[in-house]
Structure 1
């Protein structure tokens, strides 16, 4: 079978007009060209589609049956073209996203939700990353990670840079203070994130304490920040957490800023520069507008 969509378009136009001149004018082609298209179509199919008479043109029975399928094929072709055009423009397709479930991920997830609301034709697959992930997994389009210090991400956007603050039991002696020093917590038991799952985070808090002049007395280790706050609320100890953790507003926990410089937590969205996905390009455009590097008044990683 060797005919093209233009042959079907010519046949449908002629079947609806039943007049070669009017059909040719409708298609903006010469009448002989239309006649050649119909002859080609009939030759390929091996059937007669039209009966040509001096005063009129009419469909054969085969032509009537073929007209139904020809129309259906043209509609499907237009639908396929529209789907391809939307995909080319990044208006449909799939976006594979991974993120670390830290409080720093809040702005990123809010941006993702807004993106999904504005682009209903794009399916978003969401994967949770373990704490401590430092790079973009190869099987996702974009990943949000949080880590201590700076993140080298030429193909990425820095979305947040935040200090540590103290999380204290609500009835702690320092809970009502406007600001405290890390050294003020030297005699308190600490709730740490587990070394096996969050070695970098646990080591950072340990280093901040030793810099303040004491070795932290760790009485509990947990795997998640949410569990860490539950332990603090229960009065089992104090914790040093990223400032965005305050957004969780855990009952029984008081969040107090720390005086002086602390380690910084950087939140970044990473993607591959070699990925030519139009969907990714559309999402990356929105991420770039939120990059805090070089924004006046913003803290940037050291």
Structure 2
């Protein structure tokens, strides 16, 4: 435990990269690990067909100078992309670099669903195409082979004026394609709504909530635990872009709001701040569904 804490403090990039490279494992999902790393100053770069290996790696961080340049960035791996097996990820990495979409399709011979997943994940960004442009071309790309003359692939150019994905759409695309996002946390898009509801961020709650006061916190459910020794109490871990908060649902709240507690990826929780043994928790009195990007899943009752 001490060795892990020392590595996380002094080498957070290498520590997080190793955890991501050995998924699934442990208590936390890749989304949570990436969000925590970014809160500690780590730069995380998305998977890319010209820069990624099959597994996450460390690489020089773009745009840094001086002492900061010594800290690497984490580049997410290709194997995390939906439907992309280890052998296919290795094939992509072994043929790098690629000139354009047609060159990539010729030399990898990947099927349309895999090309669409790579496009959705934004993995063709280094080829100068947006996600929508790459998605437009994915089906035709799958029919491209070495038997065709270079430059004869049909209609690979997307229509002019094809709108780019919004920030929310990109987060949804990341979660669908890879289960995580290197750019934004899903709760960031719900922050304006949470502010209108009077909800605190997880960080503000942990550092500024007064014990005994009524507060609200909203976020993504990362875990649900109901230990047999807890007397019917449900423990929920709630995460937003600033951190995590422990939620305690007493048996009467759990029984009354079981469906909401179990059936929603995001929750807005009203309750009372409680500080015990140096930790602050939120004792829930009311749970409300919070709509977040689809594709986010909690790790329950493990």
- Shorter-chain TM-score: what band? under 0.3
TM-score (structure 2 length as normaliser): 0.22
Structure with larger Rg: 1
TM-score by length of 1: 0.22
